[in-house]
Amino acid sequence: MSALQIHELPTLTDPVLIVAFAGWNDAGNAATHAAEFLVKGLQARKFAGIDPEEFYDFSETRPQVRLREGLYREIKWPANDFFYSTTPALRRNLILGVGIEPQLKWKTYSAAILDLAKQCGVNLVITLGALLADVAYSRPVRVVGFSSDPTLAGQIQVTPSRYEGPTGIVGVFNDACRQASLASASFWANVPHYISATPNPKAALALVERLESFLQFSIETAELSTQAFDFDAKVAQAVSENPNMAAYVKQLEERDQEEGVGLETAPKGKGNGNGHANGHDMEDALQRFLQQRKDDKDEDE
């Protein structure tokens, strides 16, 4: 039995496959939040999925149990769902995949998605990701991109990433596309390493806007923009109330002005050697602040 389960095979025009995976590739849940926003905003219809049985260690990625109608319990398994949109707002039809990075059989998992792409006539794949970076939250979100296809690489028009090292399912899937001679590109949003609150709507919005520009379509982003504005305001207040954090952010802003685009990542829990609080301490302080704000709002309601 194939892991790929297609409930209906839509008839699509020049479709593009856009995928995002929760997990290591998804700092601040920005990539999956962007993909889910597109599914909702483009009124995309679910048509396929991947059976999780052979790809996950369920003691690590646990299924969830839910009580239904107060009568019985239902198991919700880790989902890898695919949706399609043929809305007139699109120049090309879109297939949107929202999944979870598997623990097992990455090659087989990638092959299942490639099988879906082949059956749907996809000739371009775009993967979304987000990485922790040493960047100021107050600056516009930087989006880096890459493609193994020379033509696409010239069209991306973003600062290319020169990263080498451990990779996640996004890197493996992009390589599988290359080996299958299927054009692919990847866009990654830089998320401040000291903000662990999720989702990060500001980074998600940056990814959506990059897709709009690259694929030349338009989607109403007022809801996501409002989320991003509120998120920024909460972070700004938290920073203003913590002198060490404010000094660190100011340092990042000054470096950004002096050096322009920088892609250095900052490991969690390590100080910066200049007397400011380290990233782990600031992350904990900011997380406590945002959680308190959420609790206060819940009490008011």
Tens of pLDDT, residues 208-263: 999 999 999 999 999 999 999 999 898 888 888 888 888 888 888 887 765 554 33
User: The tokens of 103 are what?
Assistant: 């623990």
d(CA 181, CA 57) in angstroms, rounded, equals 31
CA 111 from chain centre, in angstroms, equals: 21
Within the chain, all domains assigned CATH 3.40.50.10900 are found at 4-220
d(CA 251, CA 238) in angstroms, rounded, equals 17
Distances (CA, A) of 95 to 16, 98, 127, 128, 193: 6, 10, 12, 13, 31
CATH superfamily of 4-220: PAC-like subunit (3.40.50.10900)
Summarize pLDDT for 187-216 with one digit per residue, the tens.
999 998 888 778 999 999 999 999 999 999
Residue 273: the pLDDT is: 33
Average pLDDT along the chain = 84
pLDDT band for position 150 (50/70/90)? confident
The DSSP letter of residue 91 is: S
- Is 151's pLDDT higher than 70? yes
* pTM for the structure as a whole: 0.83
Looking at the chain, the number of H-run helices and the number of E-run strands are 8, 10
The terminus-to-terminus CA distance of the chain in angstroms comes to: 49
* Residue 89 φ/ψ, nearest 5 degrees: -70, -15
The mean pLDDT of 152-171, rounded to a whole number, is 78
d(CA 19, CA 211) in angstroms, rounded, equals 12
Which of 27-31, 59-63, 292-296 is predicted least confidently?
Answer: 292-296
d(CA 21, CA 31) in angstroms, rounded, equals 7
pLDDT band for position 49 (50/70/90)? very high
